[in-house]
Homo-oligomer: A and B are copies of this chain.
């Protein structure tokens, strides 16, 4: 079941550089892990913004919330979820 997810990252400008580097490394590791598991098939950067557009493929709403809230950057992101359905004209 597919969901369209937009994530906008807002890191505090006075975040300690080491804490920031550690946080971003953990986020990258978690993102790789989730992609390899198959639940995060698409991930794009929005040009000019610290934001991404993603497609998630999960078995339920609860799964999706567990995945998104497991991201190390979760407390620093505004996330919008849009449920997707099969389009009748899709080849």
Point out residues on A near B: beta carbons under 8 Å: 1-5, 12-14, 27-28, 31-32, 35-36, 42-50, 52-53, 60-62, 64-66, 68-69, 75-76, 79-91
Q: Is the CB of B44 within 8 A of A64?
A: no
On whether A27 and B85 interact (CB within 8 A), knowing A2-B61, A5-B48, A48-B68, the answer reads no
What copy number does this chain have within its complex? Answer: 10
A60 nearest CB across to chain B (Å) = 5
Q: Is the CB of B64 within 8 A of A32?
A: no
Q: Is the CB of A64 within 8 A of B83?
A: yes
A35 nearest CB across to chain B (Å) = 4
Interface of A is mostly: mixed
Which residues from B are CB-within-8-Å of A89?
Answer: 27-28, 31-32, 43
Q: How far is the CA of A6 from the CA of B42 in the complex (A)?
A: 16
On whether A45 and B86 interact (CB within 8 A), knowing A2-B61, A13-B12, the answer reads yes
